[in-house]
Chains A and B, each alone.
Chain A
Amino acid sequence: MVDIQKINQNGITIVVVIGEVDASSSIDLDSAMNETIASGALKIIVDCENLDYISSAGLGVFMSYIEEIKANNAKMIITGLNEKVFNVFKILGLDQLLETADTRDQAIELLK
Chain B
Amino acid sequence: MKYSQEIACSKDNLRLVRDFIKETLNQYVIAEKEVHSMVLAMDEMCANLIIHTHHCNIDDSFEIQIIVTENEGVTFKIIDEHEMFDLLNYEAPSLDELVKTQRKGGIGLILVKKIMDNITIRTENGKNCCCLFKKVKVQ
- On A, residues with C-beta under 8 Å from B are 1, 20, 22-24, 26, 30, 53, 55-57, 59-61, 63-68, 83-84, 87-88, 91-94, 97
Which of B32, B43, B106 is A22 in contact with, Cβ under 8 Å?
B43
Is B110 close to A, CB under 8 A?
yes
CB distance B104 to A61 under 8 Å? yes
A56→B44 contact, CB < 8 A: yes
Give me 14 A-to-B residue pairs in the complex whose CB atoms sit less than 8 angstroms apart, sorted by A's number.
Answer: A22-B11, A23-B50, A24-B15, A26-B104, A53-B18, A53-B40, A56-B108, A57-B108, A60-B106, A66-B99, A67-B102, A91-B114, A92-B111, A92-B114
> Could you tell me the distance between the alpha carbons of A60 and B48 in the complex, rounded to whole angstroms?
14
- Known contacts A22-B15, A23-B11: does B104 contact A30 (CB below 8 Å)? yes
Q: Is the interface of B mostly helix, strand, loop or mixed?
A: helix
Kindly provide the distance from the CB of A22 to the nearest chain B CB, expressed in whole angstroms.
5
**Complex contacts, B18 vs chain A, CB 8 Å:** 22, 53
Kindly list 9 other residue pairs between chains A and B, CB separation below 8 angstroms, not including A23-B50, A57-B105, A93-B95: A22-B14, A24-B14, A24-B15, A53-B18, A56-B44, A56-B111, A60-B106, A67-B99, A97-B99
Are B47 and A88 in contact, with the CB atoms below 8 A? no
